Structure 1
Amino acid sequence: MQDQGLRQPIGVLIVEDDPVTRKTLCLAVGSAPQLTLLDALDSVKAALDWLERSSADVLMVDLGLPDGSGLEVIRACADRRPETDIMVVSMSSDEANVVACIEAGAAGYVLKNAGSTDIVRAILDLRNGGSPMSPTIARMVLARLRARQVAELPPAVSQEDAAVTRLTKRETVILDLIAKGDSYSEVARLLSVSVGTVQTHIKNIYGKLSVHSRGEAVFEAHRRGLLRFERTPR
């Protein structure tokens, strides 16, 4: 209990121009003792200025801002504050927007119809290594990746890559699960192992793929044809 008391709350920066939505997000963050609201801004310029002088654990950003796109904020945050986890909160479920946000550096994408409890859960999941997405978004991303795997020829892989990249069966299953957006705790529950064991496997996967993040691991695994999307009982 003492360790829990000493743990610093998760600092959240909100960038949302709609006053009602901004207030809703602020109230959601304020309702959770694990979170603390650092600031609530309403424009790209204000967000870029804030990121120049400060950092947050989590950035929650809308896409349609009055002076530009939230994509600009995502790219700036990913570049200047790589330690920050980025989550989009938007009305848009357009595939092009979703893909652009993920490629820019967002690790989560939640639609604005999510309730306060879902918002808090998504923030905590994000900080726990997950990639929280509204079900509609998750299915879209997964369907897009599967369609590309079916439509495209297997990526060219050098003999050196093939020799180095020999994942164990357990590593392959974990790689599939994190590619689908499951958090480390969800993977641990599905496989009946500890979170520490999952993290050890993830570290081994990163080493074999020569990457340093979940996004890089999924991209590199896709390039090498390693994603199989094996079914794991839930």
Structure 2
Amino acid sequence: MGRDIRIVIIEDDEIIREGYALLIGQSEGYTVVRSYASFDDAVKTIGDDSPDVILLDIELPGTNGIQAIPKLKKMLPHAYILILTVYESEKTIFDALANGASGYLTKNTAPSKIVESIREVKDGGGPMSVNIARMVIKSFQRNQESPLSKRETQILEQIADGKSRSQVAKDLFIDLETVRSHIKNIYLKLDVNSRADAIKTAKENKLI
């Protein structure tokens, strides 16, 4: 048996942070070196922690998780970053993976799967929650000749999932007026006049 996998947790919710630390710390072969409430706190001493795997939330005070990934990769090039968040928007997922995250789990993931995923990522795997993996696969199955921009596609997918315009704005970190403008462009491009027709046309043409 080799040494324990060294883990650092960066999560702003104290109860969740302590829960993860307890869960992982009680598992054989794992050591939680330290946990932090933000990247801005972690940056001072994380280099001394020498983690193998960093469990990283996305919504953090100060520098958010997406912004933190490339900084962590630069500081700790041999550490693997495993995202653990409530966010499931396609943009957030792809931004995290493009920035260097090695895996992406949502917080409703079973505790045993979280522990298992830490080892998987350490062994070079790319663990993802089932719903996240499904979303990634779906994005590759879309019609590549779509008239819609990437942002318009994201918005239409969220609307198709039943989200309101204000929910879409919140999930994508944009203002409501921007969402309205994109929806207007979607209607024009698809030559439709309603949400239902936009969704129907997009699905028939594999645009979402």
Q: TM-score range by the shorter chain?
A: 0.5 to 0.7
Residue of structure 1 aligned with 2:91, choices 96, 99, 124: 96
Which consecutive residues of structure 2, in runs of 5 or more, have no partner in the other structure?
Answer: 146-208
Distance in 2 separating the partners of 1:63 and 1:50: 20
* Identity, % of aligned positions: 29
Q: TM-score, normalised by structure 2?
A: 0.66
Q: Specify the alignment match of 2:163 in structure 1.
A: none
Conserved in 1, the CA contact under 8 Å of 2:47 and 2:76? Answer: no
Are residue 39 (structure 1) and residue 30 (structure 2) matched? no
Q: Specify the alignment match of 1:171 in structure 2.
A: none
Distance in 1 separating the partners of 2:57 and 2:12: 8
Q: Give deviations 1:121-159, integer Å, cap 9, x for gaps.
A: 110111111100000000111111232xx415xxxxxxx
52-61 vs 125-134, which moves further: 52-61
Instruction: State the AA in 2 paired with 1:151.
Output: Q
Q: Specify the alignment match of 2:144 in structure 1.
A: 151
Q: Specify the alignment match of 1:230 in structure 2.
A: none
> What displacement does 1:47 show?
1.8
Residue of structure 1 aligned with 2:8, choices 9, 13, 16: 13
Structure with greater Cα Rg: 2
Instruction: State the AA in 2 paired with 1:65.
Output: L
Runs of 4+ in 1 over 3 A off after TM superposition: 51-54
User: Match of 2:32, SS?
Assistant: strand
Are residue 131 (structure 1) and residue 131 (structure 2) matched? no
Are residue 30 (structure 1) and residue 25 (structure 2) matched? yes
Are residue 80 (structure 1) and residue 75 (structure 2) matched? yes
Distance in 2 separating the partners of 1:133 and 1:25: 17
Distance in 1 separating the partners of 2:84 and 2:103: 9
Q: Give deviations 1:7-54, integer Å, cap 9, x for gaps.
A: 110000000000121112111211211100010100121122223444
Q: TM-score, normalised by structure 1?
A: 0.59
Conserved in 2, the CA contact under 8 Å of 1:43 and 1:66? Answer: yes
Q: Give deviations 1:85-104, integer Å, cap 9, x for gaps.
A: 11000000011100000011
| Count of aligned positions | 146
Superposed CA RMSD: 1.6
